[in-house]
Structure 1
Amino acid sequence: MTKLSFELPDGTTKTVVVTDLLNAGYAGREQEEVQAHIAELAELGVPGPSATPAMYPVSSYLAQQAGEVVVQHGRTSGEAEWALVVTDEGVLLTAACDHTDRDLEVHGVAWSKNAGPDVLGRKAWRLDDVREHLDRITLRAWVGAEGEADTLIQDSSLGALLTPDYWLDVLGERGLNKPGTVLISGTVAMIAGVDQFAQSWRVEMSDPVTGQSIEVAYAVRQMAEPIG
């Protein structure tokens, strides 16, 4: 099982053994906009979900705190998200980047989610400490290429997504609101015209009330061509 460690604002560290990893999808609060997005994806050959919002179980070892993601080809990309981490001392909130195989996505979203890691931050906040101003917390992502400045590709706030409490209720209904469960939120819209198939991804979740931020950053490296 994967073990993750998080530094909390008070300087303490919380270690969690991940038993269940879940990826939310189509998780915008404005579900009419979500349905329009599903229609756009259908034109690209991506199958729509049977229900929205969706939730996809993912192999627990894919929860990582890595500085590099190794991929099989050039059509994979990240997604700026938040992650909730259920511990024996309450729920933590951190930044995350769901690295997804876009070629595989047209055959099945759940398959694509299991083809790459969910990279989580090394810092976290207690959900109870930020719950009252969650919608003010910003969520941004940048992509990078060698020799170039990073380019902003996502710029939104947690107010665009269904809340952690919504998903905690869903987890409770399924017997998954228990220590070791990690849920990734689903993502926000990408800025048109920015190439998502980049050499690096960086996600930042910033709290304007406390002045604190949590970052996830990693390089993307393509593995060698197979033989056979």
Structure 2
Amino acid sequence: MSELTFELVDGRKVTVDVRSALNGGYAGRSQDDVAAHVAELAELGVPAPSTTPCLYPVAPYLVSQADTVPAQHGHTSGEAEWAMIVTDDDVLLTVACDHTDRDLEVHGVAWSKQAAPDVVGRQAWRLSAVADRLDSLTLTAWVGDGASWTEIQRGTLAELLTPQYWLDVLRRRNLLAPGTVLLSGTIPMHPGVDQFASAWRVELGDPATGAVIRCQYTVERLPEPVA
């Protein structure tokens, strides 16, 4: 189990023990966006899913607010997403980056989700506080090399299935309980940008207020195994 602490707009801090974690996949509202994401992954050798959207349960300890993500090789990368956190008395919304082992993903998306963490922000909004403008919230990601950043994803939450959609899914599956964390699935990447970077930064922005929630981490290669 993983413990997360979020700072809210009013300065209050909320601590959550993660008891259930799920990753949405192929979750665009537009079938064109879903097809684009399937094509992105197909270039990496990942077979297309038999149905969309998908929902992948992952180990709760994989949800993290870490600044560093260890990787066994150079073919891992992130995905810009939002995350929904169910607390004892509320639902929070924050930014997330679903880091994934792309080599393992070729053999099974569900397996690859277990091989790298879901990094989430340290700040959050109450879902009810932004419910009237969810579609206008922005999601942007950059990849870095230690010296500069290059934008790799940009869109709005209007491109993804809504938090309410996933709340209904959780309710039907008896997973709508305190400690549940769900990541939304991602938006298309810009073509021609190398996703296998040494750092990722993702921002969830609210144009109405100018507020931004971000997460950022470096990717560090593990030593070669002795075997």
TM-score, structure 2 normalization: 0.97
Q: Percent identity?
A: 62
CA displacement at 1:32 relative to structure 2: 4.5
Secondary structure of 2:45's partner? coil
Taking the aligned partners of 1:21 and 1:75, their CA distance within structure 2 comes to 24
CA displacement at 1:39 relative to structure 2: 5.3
Kindly indicate whether residue 93 of structure 2 is the aligned counterpart of residue 85 of structure 1: no
Partner of 1:178: 177
Kindly indicate whether residue 151 of structure 2 is the aligned counterpart of residue 121 of structure 1: no
Secondary structure of 2:226's partner? coil
Kindly indicate whether residue 2 of structure 2 is the aligned counterpart of residue 2 of structure 1: yes
Q: Deviations over 1:80-108 (max 9, x none)?
A: 00000001121000000000000111100
How is 1:47-196 mapped onto 2 (pairs within 5 angstroms)? 47-146=47-146, 148-196=147-195
Taking the aligned partners of 1:43 and 1:138, their CA distance within structure 2 comes to 27
CA contact (8 A) 2:44 2:102 kept: no
Question: Partner amino acid for 2:77?
Answer: S
CA contact (8 A) 2:85 2:93 kept: yes
CA RMSD, Structure 1 to Structure 2 (Å)? 1.2
Partner of 1:22: 22
Secondary structure of 1:3's partner? strand
Taking the aligned partners of 1:73 and 1:44, their CA distance within structure 2 comes to 15
TM-score, structure 1 normalization: 0.96
Taking the aligned partners of 2:63 and 2:77, their CA distance within structure 1 comes to 16
Taking the aligned partners of 2:40 and 2:7, their CA distance within structure 1 comes to 39
Partner of 1:210: 209
Partner of 1:224: 223
- Over 3 Å counting, the alpha-carbon distance change for 1:218 and 1:39 in structure 2 is closer
CA contact (8 A) 2:28 2:160 kept: yes
CA displacement at 1:42 relative to structure 2: 4.0
Runs of 4+ in 1 over 3 A off after TM superposition: 39-44
Question: Partner amino acid for 1:195?
Answer: D
Taking the aligned partners of 1:153 and 1:191, their CA distance within structure 2 comes to 5
CA contact (8 A) 2:74 2:196 kept: yes
Gaps of 5+ in 2: none
CA displacement at 1:211 relative to structure 2: 1.6
Q: Deviations over 1:32-85 (max 9, x none)?
A: 542454356446431222321000000000000000000000000010000000
CA displacement at 1:25 relative to structure 2: 0.1
Taking the aligned partners of 1:207 and 1:188, their CA distance within structure 2 comes to 17
- Over 3 Å counting, the alpha-carbon distance change for 1:140 and 1:39 in structure 2 is closer
Taking the aligned partners of 2:173 and 2:163, their CA distance within structure 1 comes to 15
CA contact (8 A) 2:78 2:100 kept: yes
Question: Partner amino acid for 1:177?
Answer: L
Taking the aligned partners of 1:66 and 1:24, their CA distance within structure 2 comes to 21
Taking the aligned partners of 1:2 and 1:41, their CA distance within structure 2 comes to 29
Secondary structure of 1:165's partner? helix
- Over 3 Å counting, the alpha-carbon distance change for 1:34 and 1:17 in structure 2 is same
Gaps of 5+ in 1: none
Taking the aligned partners of 2:33 and 2:144, their CA distance within structure 1 comes to 28
Q: Deviations over 1:150-207 (max 9, x none)?
A: 1111111111100000000000000001100000000011111111100100000110
